[in-house]
Chains A and B, each alone.
Chain A
Amino acid sequence: MASKAIEVNNLTFSYPDTDEPVLKDINFSINHGEILGIIGPTGAGKSTLAMCVNGLVPQVINGEMEGTVKVNGSEVSGSSVAKMSEDVGFVFQEPENQLSQMTIEEEIAFGMGNLGVPRDEMLGRITDALDQVGLTGFEKRSPLALSGGQQQRLAIAAVLAMRPSIMIMDEPTSMLDPKGKNEVYDVLKNLKDYGMTGIIIDHEVERIAAYCDKVLVLHEGEVQMFAPSDEVFTNIGQLHELTLNAPQVTEFLDSYNQAFGKDVKLSTTLEESVDNFESACK
């Protein structure tokens, strides 16, 4: 475990039809068991960056790439996307576009089948994966009959069954209703407890602040901030400059300090903010 889970060095990438690179000299790394949140305005290159980690960019989505991306110590460019899927799972934004099979168990078995997992082992892994996402008992149903939140959990289960050590999720909850969002984030929380390494892209900073260890802020293809999430979200001035926002509680504490000349310690989670604010006012 000496190597980093993900290591990106001097990564620059341009799509064929544009002059300016969509990613400019990106450098970051994350350790095993860490969850990284990527935030940034639309068009900042978040999805492109995520897809560099499993090789979709530039192997399937073509363009000019410089620099290196290493996963578990080996270079992504050295293997195919299909090979990478054993290490890196990818969950997309639209739940429904990720479904291709007639029943839920087949949906989960699909990726494993491609990896050549023997049938007996498949059955065990299906049970495990459904259990992890809370869909036990749904084996025989049609994926199309599920709610958005359930479909997205199914997509996660299908990826989990392939047993990757890293999960990447590109706005996994943006199409879901609040109930669906909660369902998916509950699953993510479990994954974190299992020691999974992950990357999540999301616009909902409150969720990112609560779930992620580190946050990377991307703006027009450049890394503007990369630090533990508390550090990023308490730097409100810079976030505002980048047209981004911090969790509401952090925004409030900051506004309060400014309006009344106070110095309450900023926090990014609800509970801690309540404590900080209450104790500062006593």
Chain B
Amino acid sequence: MEPYISVKNVSHKYPNGVTAIKDINLDIHEGEVVAILGSNGSGKTTLVKHFNGLLKPTKGEITVGTMNTKKERISKLSSQVGYVFQNPNHQTFLPSVRQELAYGCKNLKMVDEDIETRVQKAIDLFQLEDRLDDNPFDLNSSQRKEVAMASIMAVSPKVIVLDEPTTGQDHKGCKRVLELVRMFKREGHIVVLITHDMHLIGELNCRTVVMNQSEKIADDHASVVFSNKGIMEEAGLQPPQITQFANQITRFDETKTYLTVESIIEWMKANKEEDVKVGTGS
């Protein structure tokens, strides 16, 4: 299958001479959830800003769908790659949630009925019926983040990029983000996550790209990446606590990497006999 986003030998050098990403190759296919990890300044944001054309490669090429990002306008690319910024205050500014939802479609000069249907879809997806007339600034930070997300989704882009969606969120907020990501996937979107949140990646159990010092140093399933000590140390990352725990338990399957509490319990239930045997002492 042809990838939807294809990044070929892409480098980006800023006008000040700093090379932010170097020789990146990355294919993202339909239906994928991809987490991009790495410390600040590793180049992960620079990479992702290429997907909707905010940055153009100084070397190499990126195709999104059938579009070459170098030749397309940002507004057109953004209708296919929705980018939710980390701080909703950078994106939302209108006096009501309803206006926020319609804003992107209006920028694309869609006809009114079309806008209506898309806004309604976003309202349904995010269950915003009761908040339509609220001012986004009267909402709390996680609700405002969600409004920003919904207003990007109203354009119904193929790809949705979430920049640090769980930063500053409480446990409930983090769980909501997890739910939303799963919903986006179900709805047929590609989800790209820029995140530091190892718990989130663990729960999503998704493909994980690790950036370090402008280069891609890993691109594999989260369980593979999290169990690669060298990569994790190089990027200054630590797997979720539960993974660290499982690695130290002698009776667990050493060939497996456990990313969540539930996955271990599930595994133990499936191997109940072994559990009992070990439990009675050997």
Q: Do A and B touch (CB < 8 Å)?
A: yes
A interface residues with partner B (beta carbon < 8 Å) = 40-43, 93, 147-148, 171, 174-175, 177-180, 182, 203, 206, 243-245, 247-249, 251-252, 255-256, 259-260, 262, 270, 273-274, 277-278, 281-282
A178 touches B241 (CB 8 A): no
18 residue pairs bridging A and B, Cβ less than 8 Å apart? A40-B170, A42-B169, A174-B167, A175-B168, A177-B40, A178-B196, A178-B198, A178-B237, A203-B168, A243-B171, A251-B261, A252-B264, A259-B268, A260-B275, A260-B279, A274-B249, A277-B245, A281-B278
B80 adjacent to chain A (CB < 8 Å): no
B251 adjacent to chain A (CB < 8 Å): yes
Taking CB as reference atom, which chain B residue is nearest A171? B168
User: When A174-B168, A203-B170, A243-B170 are in contact, do A270 and B244 touch as well, CB less than 8 Å?
Assistant: yes
B140 touches A43 (CB 8 A): yes
A281 vs B242: C-alpha distance in the bound complex, in angstroms?
18
B40 touches A147 (CB 8 A): yes
User: When A177-B196, A245-B171, A281-B251 are in contact, do A42 and B142 touch as well, CB less than 8 Å?
Assistant: yes
Given contacts A249-B241, A255-B261, A260-B275, 4 further A-B contacts (CB under 8 A): A245-B171, A247-B241, A248-B242, A252-B261
In the assembled complex, the CB of A88 is this many whole angstroms from the nearest CB of chain B, namely 24
B245 touches A274 (CB 8 A): yes
User: When A93-B168, A179-B236, A251-B261 are in contact, do A278 and B245 touch as well, CB less than 8 Å?
Assistant: no
B172 touches A248 (CB 8 A): no
A282 touches B39 (CB 8 A): no
A249 touches B242 (CB 8 A): yes
In the assembled complex, the CB of B188 is this many whole angstroms from the nearest CB of chain A, namely 30
B40 touches A41 (CB 8 A): no
A42 touches B245 (CB 8 A): no
B255 adjacent to chain A (CB < 8 Å): no
In the assembled complex, the CB of A42 is this many whole angstroms from the nearest CB of chain B, namely 5
Task: Rank and list the top 6 A-B pairs by shortest CB-CB distance, nearest first.
Answer: A248-B242, A179-B236, A248-B241, A243-B172, A177-B39, A252-B261
- Residues from chain B with a CB closer than 8 A to the CB of A177 are 39-40, 196, 236
Q: Which of B99-137 contact A (CB under 8 A)?
A: none
B65 adjacent to chain A (CB < 8 Å): no
A282 vs B278: C-alpha distance in the bound complex, in angstroms?
7
- Residues from chain A with a CB closer than 8 A to the CB of B236 are 177-179, 182
A179 touches B245 (CB 8 A): no
Taking CB as reference atom, which chain B residue is nearest A247? B241
A273 vs B249: C-alpha distance in the bound complex, in angstroms?
10
- Residues from chain B with a CB closer than 8 A to the CB of A249 are 241-242, 245
A282 vs B282: C-alpha distance in the bound complex, in angstroms?
7
Our pick among A180, A245, A273 for the contact of B245 (Cβ within 8 Å) is A273
Q: Which of B261-282 contact A (CB under 8 A)?
A: 261-262, 264-265, 268-269, 275, 278-279, 281
A252 touches B245 (CB 8 A): yes
A282 vs B281: C-alpha distance in the bound complex, in angstroms?
5
A78 vs B244: C-alpha distance in the bound complex, in angstroms?
49
In the assembled complex, the CB of B241 is this many whole angstroms from the nearest CB of chain A, namely 4
Count residues of chain B with CB under 8 A from any CB of chain A: 38
B171 touches A244 (CB 8 A): yes
In the assembled complex, the CB of A38 is this many whole angstroms from the nearest CB of chain B, namely 12
A148 touches B171 (CB 8 A): no
B16 adjacent to chain A (CB < 8 Å): no
In the assembled complex, the CB of B151 is this many whole angstroms from the nearest CB of chain A, namely 21
B58 adjacent to chain A (CB < 8 Å): no
B60 adjacent to chain A (CB < 8 Å): no
Our pick among B40, B170, B240 for the contact of A180 (Cβ within 8 Å) is B40
A206 vs B248: C-alpha distance in the bound complex, in angstroms?
17
| Complex interface bits, B201-241 against A, C-beta within 8 A gives 1, otherwise 0 | 00000000000000000000000000000000000111011
User: When A203-B169, A259-B268 are in contact, do A274 and B261 touch as well, CB less than 8 Å?
Assistant: no
A42 touches B265 (CB 8 A): no
User: When A178-B237, A206-B241 are in contact, do A255 and B281 touch as well, CB less than 8 Å?
Assistant: no
B66 adjacent to chain A (CB < 8 Å): no
In the assembled complex, the CB of A69 is this many whole angstroms from the nearest CB of chain B, namely 25
A278 touches B241 (CB 8 A): no
User: When A41-B170, A42-B173 are in contact, do A259 and B242 touch as well, CB less than 8 Å?
Assistant: no
- Residues from chain A with a CB closer than 8 A to the CB of B168 are 93, 171, 174-175, 203
B248 touches A274 (CB 8 A): yes
B6 adjacent to chain A (CB < 8 Å): no
B268 touches A260 (CB 8 A): yes
B3 adjacent to chain A (CB < 8 Å): no
- Residues from chain A with a CB closer than 8 A to the CB of B249 are 274, 277-278
Taking CB as reference atom, which chain A residue is nearest B242? A248
A249 vs B237: C-alpha distance in the bound complex, in angstroms?
19
- Residues from chain B with a CB closer than 8 A to the CB of A42 are 140-142, 169-170, 172-173
A182 vs B245: C-alpha distance in the bound complex, in angstroms?
19
- Residues from chain A with a CB closer than 8 A to the CB of B171 are 41, 203, 243-245
